[in-house]
Structure formats: structure tokens, C-alpha cells
Amino acid sequence: MSKSILIIDDDSRVNELISDYLKINKFQCTAVEKPSDGFSELKKQHFDLIILDIVLPEMNGFEVCKMIRKNYDIPIIMLTSMAEVTDRIIGLELGADDYIAKPFELREIMARITSVLRRTDSKMQAKTILKFKDLFIDYNNRAVHLKGKNLNLTSTEFELLSFFAKNNGKVLSREEIMQNSRGISWESFDRSVDVMVSRLRNKLKIPGKENKEFIKTVHSVGYMFFAEEE
């Protein structure tokens, strides 16, 4: 069954260009120019991935991303300006899984989509459960529970947590994290890794245990995940 893509971009030419290319590559595409139309489509059908522009009528792409994340765990790839590193950081903080800089090549869009979908496809996930004190990770169902409460993680956050958990107690450099995180174009000059780790760390906070952190910063090196085995 082919994957279904929702494109939200106010430029009809961009929508047509991306849609035609993805259809040639056996994807189903729905393209809209306004966020309100995008939300309507999300209510009507299932989508496997969303391509979301930042500059939109009604509200900007950051606001749209935030609203989508409240109700859906669909992978989001944001279209950003080549020069705006800040846009990419904000997008990642709000839950985007990847970004594509404008102007772009269609082959790059195809590669990014394929990579993100590969990462989020449950069939590609190992059927494994990891249990720690206060933390439960179900790879088969892509579910994470903290103190018995389900955590709403994006696909990128889940992949990052999975990598950390499988390397429990090991110091990981930023380079290792970049090499083992498919689907995001990490760049040495931006703060993408730190942003993603910070976002995940905030979601792993246990109320009443402010001093307990699963992810610790190792200065000048990277990060270490540590959880007590159950």
C-alpha cells in the first residue's frame, strides 16, 4: 500500500511540483494552500507524513506544527529558508522530524521522506521491550511510559530515546548521536543535537523529582543516558 503525504504550502506551484514528483514515485498526495484546509484533510483521512511550509496564510507553520502535535504523531518535514538556522531550531523544538531548505531539489525531498518513513515504520522496529525503574519502552508499539503515564513523543524523540536507552550508562558524543539518528540533516554549525536532547529531557522529567535526570550532559563531550534497571 502506498504512503500518503499531506503538503501544506501556500505556493500552488510548489504544491504541484512536489505532488507530481511524489506521485511518479508511487506516493499518494494531497496538497492544500491554507492551514485550515490541512486540518480538515487530517480529520478526513490518514496521512503517513506531512510536508509543512513556514510562511503560510492564517497562521505560520510553527503554529500549525504545534497544533498538529497536540493531536497527531504524524512525521512532519518543514520547509525552511536556506539562511534561517533559527527556523530549523524552532521547528525541531516544536516537534518537527526534519527540515528541507528552500530552494530544494526534488531528489532531496524524496530522500528525506524515505528516510523519515523508514525510521517511523513499525515494521522496521525491533520487537523489544526495555524496562527501567520509572521508565518503560515498548519498541513494537512505539510506546513510552514514565511512572505509568504515557509519553507523547514524536518519532524523532522516540528514535533518540531508543538510541540512548540501548546505550544506557555510556557517554555518547554528538557525532555518535548524529551518525545514529537517521532522517535529520545534522549540521555542525547549528544546535540541532542539543535542541533535540533538551526537548526529550524535558519530557522525561518526573514531577516531584526535579533532581532526577535520565539524560546528563557530559561537558565538552556529549551526553549520557542513565536509568536504573528494574
pLDDT digits (tens, 9 = 90+) for 28-57: 999 999 999 999 999 888 898 999 999 999
Mean pLDDT of the chain: 85
Q: Are the CB atoms for 18 and 106 separated by under 8 Å? A: yes
Q: Which domain holds residue 161?
A: 123-225
Grid coordinates 509519553 are at which residue?
151
Q: Please tell me the total count of domains within the chain.
A: 2
List % helix, strand, coil for the chain (3-state, nearest 5).
Answer: 40, 25, 40
Same domain assignment for residues 44 and 100: yes
> Is the pTM above the cut of 0.75?
no
Question: Alpha carbon 178 to chain centroid distance?
Answer: 14
Q: Are the CB atoms for 180 and 220 separated by under 8 Å? A: no
Long-range CB contact pairs, 204-213, < 8 A, 24+: 204/135, 204/146, 204/151, 204/161, 206/134, 206/146, 206/147
Same domain assignment for residues 106 and 159: no
- Position 126 scores a pLDDT of 52
Of 90-104, 106-120, 187-201, 206-220, the one with minimum mean pLDDT is 187-201
- Position 8 scores a pLDDT of 97
Residue 124: band (very low, low, confident or very high) from pLDDT cuts 50, 70, 90: very low
Same domain assignment for residues 162 and 207: yes
Same domain assignment for residues 132 and 177: yes
